[in-house]
Structure 1
């Protein structure tokens, strides 16, 4: 890590308490102090857990930079004690490469961010800046701005709005995580719309929906004649996003070879279309998303560690719908009115029984599942209220599984027979196609994810889909 000036003003006094650095290695402590002071921060440092605890109680710093390996105590225990005293404190944990599991445990215990040694100076400064922004007290009368596409003001979503507002004007790469259907693309669009690049293009690319052999061309483009079927020049998503934002959805689906090229692109801001003799520079901000645990993908060897740290600068986690409280009712009411207007129906609201059920359901498909249910109801029924009888059958099944006593009766043999009845009389090949198409729909058309769920190779599914398309097309 360099001690070069990071570009911030020197000696700035913000009037806030100093940052607290707890690091037991003298040489690293001096380097970190210098970088922070070059960036305009006031910092107090300690070398032991006891000294750090005393300084914390004396200063009440907004941000603590904490090495997890201390000579006199466990850094994780110290962090939990500090957060118990001052939950608003933002703790950035620092750990060695071999202790990533401990850093993940710290994140789960309430750490704001973690850094793995050795780390880039700019990443260090950005992490502190983002932690300070998150720790700044918000005026009660001025909640963080909410993008027009979002619905809901629950506390988890307020945190998302605040993080978007704090990072939007930056050029830092944003890494969005969350379950399928939580609105990761909406989050990426909001980051773009609130940034200085709002007038430029927003290009979204689903890395999981494109065959591996076509991904490089889709991202970086190709020249006419570069390969069989390249009948004309194609700019690619990175070139199309020049001056704007490139959103890479399901980024963990990228092939390892393409991950290497993406890392080179992030380092140089240059693209080289397939078949081109020389690269060219583009001005693109990267926002990416995944519904997987990216660190687990790194540990499994499916995602490059250096690419992870290049992309994972500012994380934003989209909360699942089941944790958003009354938001589910607000989303349902708003979208019900919108769908009713589109379909020419008379719906005005939800019955009390439906409201109670919606708040109790686990919503495994999150907001996407809720919107699917509402569209189904509006298309097949009419108002003025949505009643339990109008809801799809599968939702009643989820409701049964979500009963407060947690005991759902096992399916009766008659129920199993009824479920299998539509398959009777079909050939095995027809049943196979029905199962694969249903699995693809469940996984939003992602062949790699569907292949993992069915425990088959993605190439097997691509081959079957290609055969069915040719057969259907004559």
Structure 2
């Protein structure tokens, strides 16, 4: 068996770590400096390296950088006050990290996970694009190819993952994909929506409780962390978690132990944490709603899910795949979309992202029959826009809206508007622009240098959106 290379300059700690790993059946080779570590790697690359970042002759991150591309999984060791250094290491290719002081089981688990983890998919082995999708995803855009690449790389690690993105972008799909490509794939994946559980019950849901711990606790209940032992715990909407529970979650991450409500002693578990939010977590920290130390402990490997409007090439792929799936489920015979229906789908801004698109396709399949989806089958929220009768407006506003190039005397056109509110002028100008574009909001938005979703929101606020639908 190839020994684990331990790079640690404190002899007492090196002896302790070596003894713990030896008892677990993992022989250890020790290097006290960067120079010794480089020499041992030159003689033969270890499969796993435990690397202290603070060494007498240099920075452990320098050695990590030199191992880029090598078949060696590096577990970095850092002090409690240097979490940001661990984050740097994870982004530099480290497999996992340990924060001093850590217990024996955490050390052994990290090494065994590194030894048993799947190898990375080499670039030449991976397909150039994912035409049919990847682990629950659908799409072959450049934005999604980057997500697939990150998920493959993250799957090798046991590090915590922080997924951000708008509602409906597929954050849980991403979490499940990370679990599916990891060495924990055969163990439980346990999702928990922190926003959907009352705050006074959230601690019990996460850590469990014993019978009689509080009113209504009629029997022992294992929490999500215990159920996920050996697997992955997905904490969705993590920024909704109460500050008091954030403190307990931080301790759980540091010690890998849980203490059910009413229990006298903590229980050891082996869980990988993946969390997600549709908020800006850094802004939540600034506002005092999210603990800074917990943020840095969780925000080790960040992934941002792109909104659907940033990956328009995937809209029709998602629509066609979901149409086939829903048609089978509902016993319908739909086989595709007409060109006009596809054009309508491509023009919409999809503020609800993939979730909204899937709901629209499900609506069509449930309420209609046929072989091709036609524009009139689409629900009102995205049906082809009907141009309403233009309300009376001053000629100068319509003239401004239809003017493609700046007029030579703009003051003369604006002067009649003086005395009216800016809100009234904005509304008339936007509606006149839409009228000039034949009712096409995407075209009008481009002319106004606005996003279509902004125009839709304004129309809704004026009560125009319903009439257009």
TM-score by length of 1: 0.62
2-structure distance, mates of 1:6, 1:347: 67
SS of aligned partner of 1:156: helix
Aligned pair in 2 of structure 1 residues 398, 300: CA closer, same or farther (>3 Å)? farther
**Residue matched to 2:255:** 268
Given candidates 122, 130, 142, the residue that maps to 2:86 is 122
Aligned pair in 2 of structure 1 residues 401, 177: CA closer, same or farther (>3 Å)? farther
Instruction: Say which is worse superposed, 216-225 or 343-352, in terms of deviation.
Output: 343-352
**Residue matched to 1:404:** 443
* 1:35 equivalenced with 2:35 (yes/no): no
The 8 Å contact of residues 330 and 365 in structure 2, kept in 1 or not, is answered as yes
**Residue matched to 1:309:** 296
**Residue matched to 1:113:** none
* 1:202 equivalenced with 2:189 (yes/no): yes
Q: Deviations over 1:275-311 (max 9, x none)?
A: 0011010000000000100000000000000000000
The 8 Å contact of residues 201 and 240 in structure 1, kept in 2 or not, is answered as yes
SS of aligned partner of 2:59: helix
2-structure distance, mates of 1:314, 1:413: 39
SS of aligned partner of 2:274: strand
Deviation at 1:358, TM superposition (A): 1.5
Instruction: Say which is worse superposed, 230-239 or 383-392, in terms of deviation.
Output: 383-392
Radius of gyration: which is bigger? Answer: 2
2-structure distance, mates of 1:168, 1:295: 25
**Residue matched to 1:378:** 365
Given candidates 283, 294, 308, the residue that maps to 1:296 is 283
SS of aligned partner of 1:340: helix
* 1:239 equivalenced with 2:264 (yes/no): no
Given candidates 222, 245, 248, the residue that maps to 1:258 is 245
TM-score by length of 2: 0.63
SS of aligned partner of 1:203: strand
The 8 Å contact of residues 173 and 311 in structure 1, kept in 2 or not, is answered as yes
Aligned pair in 2 of structure 1 residues 279, 393: CA closer, same or farther (>3 Å)? same
- The 5 Å alignment of 1:6-45 reads 10-11=37-38, 12=41, 33-39=58-64, 41=66
SS of aligned partner of 1:248: strand
**Residue matched to 1:214:** 201
The 8 Å contact of residues 164 and 278 in structure 2, kept in 1 or not, is answered as yes
* Number of residues of Structure 1 aligned to a counterpart in Structure 2: 329
**Residue matched to 1:465:** none
Q: Deviations over 1:339-383 (max 9, x none)?
A: 111112121101111212222211110110001000111111112
Aligned pair in 2 of structure 1 residues 152, 6: CA closer, same or farther (>3 Å)? farther
**Residue matched to 1:139:** 124
The 8 Å contact of residues 177 and 318 in structure 1, kept in 2 or not, is answered as yes
**Residue matched to 2:76:** none
Given candidates 150, 169, 175, the residue that maps to 2:137 is 150
